[in-house]
């Protein structure tokens, strides 16, 4: 599945980073390239949307996230006129009603429901912290933290505080994320940690003792 994001804000950045860490293909449309855009996310710059711009980058089966784009109305109707089997998530917009479409549309307030609800709407899975949409995310290899091997996610959460644990990416299945506290951590897995940079430094210093 491919995820196409029009517009960029804290919630969109959070969702895009998680999707990229899970090895999904992500395309971002924005007027300016974000300075902290992960290298695996494809950036498409545009000043004004066109139907060709939309149809050249969206395919049946894709999930589309519409956030802050000034061309929201145009983009949405281009999607509605062209596709039958996509999934659209919209940031709450005043004075805009999507109307009836052949594909599912969910409208959310990204500042309130944030990345967790956004990702649930896009992929059917809740894989982010709804209360902290602006946290920095990092995929940490368990091979670099062998003391984590054999722990459950629940046990790890107490060891890495105040960092949050967003989930566990399983070895050989990068598109599947475990969030169950009972999930066991193996050597080849990656743990998605969330928090500001100073919390990562705190963990590094604590484990070096």
pLDDT computed for residue 123 by the predictor? 45
Please provide the DSSP assignment of 102-125 as one string: SS-EEEE-TTTTHHHHHHHHHHS-
Ranges of H-type helices in the chain:
10-21, 51-55, 72-82, 114-123, 153-160, 197-208
What's the whole-model pTM score?
0.64
Determine the Cα–Cα distance for residues 110 and 89; give it in Å rounded to an integer. Answer: 10
Task: Give the C-alpha distances (Å, rounded to integers) separating 48 from 3, 38, 52, 62, 63.
Answer: 20, 24, 11, 22, 21
- What is the chain's pLDDT, residue by residue, as a tens digit (209 residues)? 688 988 777 667 767 777 777 778 899 988 888 887 888 899 998 877 788 888 899 999 888 888 766 677 888 888 999 999 998 888 765 566 777 888 888 777 655 554 555 555 544 333 334 444 444 667 889 999 999 999 999 999 899 988 878 788 888 775 567 878 899 999 999 888 877 677 888 999 998 88
Q: Looking at 31-104, which runs of residues are DSSP E strands? A: 42-45, 63-66, 87-91
Task: Quote the CATH superfamily of domain 2-123.
Answer: NAD(P)-binding Rossmann-like Domain (3.40.50.720)
Locate 14 and state its tokens.
């959070």
Partnered with residue 107 across adjacent β-strands are 90
CATH C-level class of 137-208: alpha beta
Pairing verdict, β 63-66 and 2-6: parallel
Determine the Cα–Cα distance for residues 67 and 201; give it in Å rounded to an integer. Answer: 32
pLDDT computed for residue 145 by the predictor? 94
Q: Provide the residue ranges of all domains of the chain, joining segments of one domain with +.
A: 2-123, 137-208
Locate 166 and state its tokens.
């967003």
Determine the Cα–Cα distance for residues 29 and 3; give it in Å rounded to an integer. Answer: 11
């Amino acid at each position: 599945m491919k995820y196409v994001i029009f517009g960029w804000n804290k919630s969109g950045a959070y969702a895009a980073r998680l999707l990229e860490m899970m090895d999904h293909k992500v395309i971002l449309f924005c007027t300016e390239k974000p300075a902290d855009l992960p290298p695996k996310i494809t950036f498409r710059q545009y000043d004004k949307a066109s139907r060709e711009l939309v149809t050249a980058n969206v395919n049946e089966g894709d999930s589309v996230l519409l956030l802050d784009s000034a061309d929201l109305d145009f983009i949405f109707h281009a999607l509605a006129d062209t596709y039958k089997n996509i999934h659209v998530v919209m940031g709450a917009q005043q004075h805009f009603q999507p109307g009836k479409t052949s594909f599912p549309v969910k409208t959310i307030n990204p500042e309130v429901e944030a990345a967790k609800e956004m990702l649930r709407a896009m992929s059917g899975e809740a894989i982010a912290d709804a209360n902290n949409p602006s946290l920095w995310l990092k995929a940490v290899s368990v091979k670099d933290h062998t003391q984590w091997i054999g722990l459950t996610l629940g046990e790890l959460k107490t060891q890495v505080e105040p960092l949050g644990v967003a989930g566990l990416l399983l070895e050989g299945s990068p598109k599947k994320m475990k969030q169950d506290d009972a999930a066991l951590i193996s050597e080849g897995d990656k743990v998605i940690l969330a928090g500001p940079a100073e919390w990562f430094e705190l963990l590094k210093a604590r484990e070096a003792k």
